[in-house]
Homo-oligomer: A and B are copies of this chain.
């Protein structure tokens, strides 16, 4: 009954699924590993690493706690899998666009504003989750985030430097990211006070898709 520990790592990721009613929920079709990961995404993102209990994840997955360790060996390992995904999602998402040498500064700004806001609208907890986990445990992420050097040296930043030689391009880059990301970080504040409804907030974001590019272009004049 006892298996070599390394075996855990090679548990197959997919299970042959029988034909099923289209009616049945998509989740049912997920492999067990994927069910755990999906549950982990939800719980980790909502509560953060320290406040998340492995039992929470098992419940959320509708599966058994023993099986979680059978697949992932530890809470820590499962977390790292999710965290790498999330860091990628937050930073790598815009990286190709920012490094496209065939688009102008303005085109990059337009595209990123619209698409980043849309992505974040679907994943509103993503920024604060990633950023607060990095703060809590900066050492762990030194490895994961070489991306940033990449983003900071992107074609986009070079274009900013050319356009406004008198100003540190990182300043403008921070403004751009900040105007896109900050609303999602501040959201819980307004929301917890019911000072702003969901509808109002979504309208705000929708407007931002065109407003942020306008403001950025003002700063480039």
Measured CB to CB, the residues of A under 8 A from B are 46-51, 125, 128, 131-132, 134-136, 138-139, 141-142, 145-146, 148-149, 152, 167-168, 170-171, 174-175, 177-179, 181-183, 185-186, 188-196, 204, 207-208, 211, 215, 218-219, 221
Q: Which residues of B contact A191 (CB under 8 A)?
A: 138
CB-CB under 8 A for A148 and B182, given A50-B50, A218-B218:
no
Q: Distance in Å from the Cβ of A215 to the closest Cβ of chain B?
A: 6
Q: Which residues of B contact A182 (CB under 8 A)?
A: 174, 177-178, 181-182, 185
The residue among A135, A141, A218 with the most chain B CB atoms within 10 A of its own CB is: A135
Task: For A45, give the chain B residue with the smallest CB separation.
Answer: B135
Secondary structure at chain A's binding surface: helix, strand, loop or mixed? helix
Given contacts A152-B195, A178-B183, 16 further A-B contacts (CB under 8 A): A48-B50, A49-B51, A128-B128, A131-B188, A134-B189, A138-B192, A142-B194, A145-B192, A145-B193, A148-B190, A152-B196, A170-B196, A175-B179, A178-B179, A181-B182, A215-B215
A188 and B134 contacting across the interface, CB-CB below 8 Å: yes
- Of the candidates B46, B125, B135, B188, the one whose C-beta lies within 8 Å of that of A188 is B135
22 contacts between A and B (CB under 8 A): A48-B50, A50-B50, A50-B51, A128-B135, A131-B189, A132-B132, A138-B191, A141-B192, A142-B192, A146-B193, A152-B190, A168-B207, A171-B211, A174-B186, A175-B179, A177-B186, A178-B178, A178-B182, A182-B185, A185-B185, A215-B215, A218-B221
Assembly CA distance A148 to B170 (angstroms): 30
Q: Distance in Å from the Cβ of A153 to the closest Cβ of chain B?
A: 9
Q: Which residues of B contact A183 (CB under 8 A)?
A: 174, 178
Q: Which residues of B contact A171 (CB under 8 A)?
A: 204, 207-208, 211
The residue among A46, A142, A182, A218 with the most chain B CB atoms within 10 A of its own CB is: A182
